[in-house]
Structure 1
């Protein structure tokens, strides 16, 4: 590890304090940076530990590495002492603790500091290291989330069902977003019923062109290849995602001005009929938020300010839908993750054991909804929440795919996927593997839902209205197969009473034909 192998070289002089900055801790507003101290050395490092703990989409790795590089340069320009190490410099380090020990020794540091990681595995790793170090150490807050870490247990309890709606209302009152005294502005807490529109042909024509960036990452791609880092997905030498705070702020402004007026209305919609189908009216701010280039408070404030500005076309249903995603869902899944780890990562309440089909890595399936959602994910390292929940997640739920395999896919494929946010969304919301701690029911759906919310079924090999014939939509028979095999468990769930009753009302011979078709689908799952 030599200065020539790092992007920014701090010199060989000693430093009293070593401060670690992880790749998702790029918060320029952190109190660490209020004063410049030549005796404090900031370390930002590319590590095989982080490229290899799961198989990642190549754009995800490039985005984090490019954002880390830009953040290191910005810190140095602000007068801080920074050591930014690439894979060339860290290739011989077995893991993060090994690198930290090297740096502490090389720079004769007497004190080590780090921000609390958002991932359980890193928190455990750094806490264990800190206990074993001969120098003093301290862990501080990342100063990012609205709800303090120490208060998470006041809002959720381990192994208990906690509904996001109640959590969300508490945070609305506490942080005073969209409130009129103690009541919600407009008299309603949410506008879900108004935010479930599909896209007409005219709506599709009006979709905005997304704001994209051109961040050169050719050197990063070369470095990944040189070190044999295994990735997947479509590489982009000019990365379209924001990797600096200024770019993230540009994207936030674009969202508020261009997308927010229609965000809520079409937040659940899907289409394959536009080159902008992948972006629609979604903010695409999740990577910038999860890397901490933006704070949730500034994002919320910008959206609310736009709503409060006259003649912008932003209604209460639009802004509330967005506030719910940031203030509600994002804070909620973080709380559920931390209060329930490490047990949460092993939950498999439905005993799902089936292997993930190989076409999840290629998108090569005749089911058009899956082909569209997976193909988009492989191309952009992105899909919006309904594509994740009700297309890929729904199929994995109905087919009984092993949650470990589904977790690994979601964690690797999406540019914004960090375990604290991925795990509860995948294992809890999509797969119901936690048994209902997050979702009040399994979010299982047949082809009818896909047909209602998208135009995917129009060009599909399979017939969306079929159940038992050879070309019937696989989701239809799989839906009833799921209901049948989990009937005993679902019997006590009020929200599943109607589907269960509908299944039991069907004639015995029809149920047999549907189940036989589902078994055929599962037997041929690799070639659907």
Structure 2
């Protein structure tokens, strides 16, 4: 049994604030923690589930992980002031709960590891000022680079490309390096890591490790189903790692059973196959149950001991040491203005069926329904199925951002916002990505070996007509709408040149059909 929580010390020196994505007893906020004179504050509040219409899997993940972590701290004999969502006196906001805690506990100062969300940081800073208490903000050590490191890297650069930052990080941290040169003589193995499945489909996929809900998690699931019954998503398949021990087991399972083939198949798609060779580690990393250094070290060790090909190890490490660090730097050096980016002038509302998956497009239907059921989709489903459709249709970037933040269990704003506004929707005008990631339905057909298209009423080869694939129609319409801009970009100029084979009548037919798609969205 867990030890009873320690009574809150009086007088109280420090109240250590722990947010739902800071579940690590070794985090910077606990440096110098003394149970004799310090206490921990945690609060489950409705605001964090309603500022965007959060899905039930996302809400349950954060609440259940927080409750397990609070219990672990209490078992150490630490004083934990933990407000639960269903507490009768819960104010519903972080600021309100902090004010209540300060009034009751009267700490001399507050300590906080830097949050992953600009909105939360501003709210807590403002409340600390209103309460007349000093708030000591400490670096988040769950990254290879600090925001200051990234700002130094970004200084004087007109554009911020991940590849250059990634190489800098590899050198600095001696990851996948042979002396001063990259292991294998090249920095990336993208050419080896973008295979599509054969028409027969993927080879047998080792099922990822799952964790049956325990008593704590079952109570959370019941609470979420009752309190957030109108929110999207389902909890029947909820089996995410929620403790550090579970996260470490998930990491070991991935390294042992799926990393070897991860690189080759990381961009491939197949219906009703949500996990394939992906890791399921992003949520644990973002909750801080795992440290990226230990994840990267495990992947590199698997390559060095000969159990994993270099291409797979590099492809996976690139996502963590490169992409994850890079998007965090983008977020914190570009906020708060980054949230308002809309370089392409997109103005349509998000289609209501994004919340239900009710669409005739087989690939998009599968990705949306999977997302709502599991709170998960892998990166190509997010970028080149869901995000691509929103980009081509012309949905307001902020609405696309709010949807992505709401539905995915691993969504924290620092990582989600740049991925959506910058990478997926090109709303920052190229500050982050060197081109809009646009493609027709033929791309999805190729990466899924035709598996979606064979069961779909649309034909990805057709631009117009009743069987034309909406992706293909909207792709060609996108080229027409942004022809001058894309022609000036070396990475998209060849795509634009394909417009030369369209006569005036076909151009008009594409524009008309695209407009009908928008009106029907």
TM-score after normalising by structure 2: 0.94
- Are 2:410 and 1:416 equivalent residues in the alignment? yes
Distance 2:314 2:186 in 1: 10
Are the aligned partners of 1:46 and 1:65 in contact in 2 as well (CA < 8 Å)?
Answer: yes
- 1:213-232 aligned at under 5 Å gives the runs 213-216=211-214, 217-224=217-224, 227=227, 230-232=230-232
**What secondary structure does 1:110 align onto?**
strand
Are the aligned partners of 2:358 and 2:365 in contact in 1 as well (CA < 8 Å)?
Answer: yes
**What secondary structure does 1:293 align onto?**
coil
- Are 2:258 and 1:259 equivalent residues in the alignment? yes
- Are 2:497 and 1:501 equivalent residues in the alignment? yes
User: Which of 476, 486, 490 is matched with 1:490 structurally?
Assistant: 486
**What secondary structure does 1:112 align onto?**
strand
Distance 1:127 1:305 in 2: 41
Are the aligned partners of 1:445 and 1:479 in contact in 2 as well (CA < 8 Å)?
Answer: yes
Are the aligned partners of 1:197 and 1:268 in contact in 2 as well (CA < 8 Å)?
Answer: yes
Q: How many residues align?
A: 513
User: Which of 99, 113, 122 is matched with 1:115 structurally?
Assistant: 113
Are the aligned partners of 1:24 and 1:292 in contact in 2 as well (CA < 8 Å)?
Answer: yes
In structure 2, the partner of 1:519 is: 515
- Cα RMSD between the aligned structures? 1.9
Distance 2:156 2:385 in 1: 29
Distance 1:185 1:315 in 2: 12
In structure 2, the partner of 1:459 is: 455
In structure 2, the partner of 1:308 is: 304
User: Which of 110, 128, 146 is matched with 2:126 structurally?
Assistant: 128
User: Which of 136, 142, 145 is matched with 1:144 structurally?
Assistant: 142
Q: Deviations over 1:386-436 (max 9, x none)?
A: 000000011011100111111111000100011111110001101111101
- 1:435-450 aligned at under 5 Å gives the runs 435-450=429-444
Q: Return the offset for 1:213.
A: 1.1
Distance 2:376 2:225 in 1: 23
**What secondary structure does 2:315 align onto?**
helix
Q: Deviations over 1:137-159 (max 9, x none)?
A: 31112221110233221122499
Q: Return the offset for 1:118.
A: 1.3
Bigger Cα displacement from structure 2, 91-100 vs 337-346: 91-100
Q: Deviations over 1:28-69 (max 9, x none)?
A: 322516754222111111012211211111011111111111
Distance 1:321 1:419 in 2: 24
In structure 2, the partner of 1:287 is: 283
- Are 2:477 and 1:475 equivalent residues in the alignment? no
User: Which of 11, 21, 38 is matched with 2:36 structurally?
Assistant: 38
TM-score after normalising by structure 1: 0.93
- Are 2:183 and 1:185 equivalent residues in the alignment? yes
Decide whether aligned partners of structure 1 residues 229 and 341 sit closer, same or farther in structure 2, where only a CA change above 3 A counts.
farther
Q: Return the offset for 1:102.
A: 1.6
Distance 2:156 2:287 in 1: 27
Distance 1:253 1:188 in 2: 27
In structure 1, the partner of 2:370 is: 376
Distance 1:51 1:323 in 2: 31
In structure 1, the partner of 2:16 is: 19
Are the aligned partners of 2:5 and 2:75 in contact in 1 as well (CA < 8 Å)?
Answer: no
User: Which of 341, 345, 370 is matched with 2:339 structurally?
Assistant: 345
